[in-house]
């Protein structure tokens, strides 16, 4: 595995961890209150893209987490924890920081 390939895998994971994390925060602290507390989603239709985008970003996040997990020969619990980090607020940011610290 060349250094360039490692850099590419790491960059892809970092990008997806950040995008997925930001989208999850928008979903939990933006879309959910807008829908269930303020009831404004009907009048702000653009907001429906937040939950839809979350589903697709998470798919790509899983693939990048698997790629870096396999390439760095991580243990199974670590790979599963990386995958789960995409579903918890702030967890993907923490995962991204730890991975960068360890492998860059």
Question: Contacts with other proteins in 15-34 (CB under 8 A)?
Answer: none
Binding flag, residue 102, other proteins (CB under 8 A): yes
Q: Which two tokens stand for residue 47?
A: 């907001």
75 forms part of the interface with other proteins (CB under 8 A) = yes
The radius of gyration of the chain's CA atoms, rounded to the nearest angstrom, is 16
Which of the stretches 14-22, 65-73, 89-97 binds other proteins when contact is defined by CB under 8 A?
A: 65-73
Contact at 8 Å (CB) between 64 and 79?
no
Which two structure tokens, joined as six digits, stand for 90?
């702030």
Query: Considering the complex, what minimum distance in angstroms separates the CB of residue 20 from other proteins?
Result: 12
Cα dihedral 49→52→56→62 (10° resolution)? 120
Residues within the interface to other proteins (CB under 8 A):
35-36, 39, 42-43, 48, 51-52, 54-56, 58-59, 62-63, 66, 70, 72-76, 78, 83, 102
């Amino acid at each position: 595995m060349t250094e360039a390939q490692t850099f590419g895998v790491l960059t892809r994971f970092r990008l997806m961890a950040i995008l997925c994390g930001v989208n999850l925060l928008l979903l939990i602290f933006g879309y959910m209150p807008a829908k269930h507390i303020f009831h404004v989603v009907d009048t702000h239709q653009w907001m429906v893209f937040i939950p839809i985008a979350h589903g697709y970003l998470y798919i790509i996040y899983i693939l990048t987490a698997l790629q870096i997990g396999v390439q760095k020969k991580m243990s199974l619990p670590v790979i599963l924890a990386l995958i789960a980090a995409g579903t918890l607020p702030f967890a993907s940011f923490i995962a991204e920081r730890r991975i960068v610290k360890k492998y860059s």
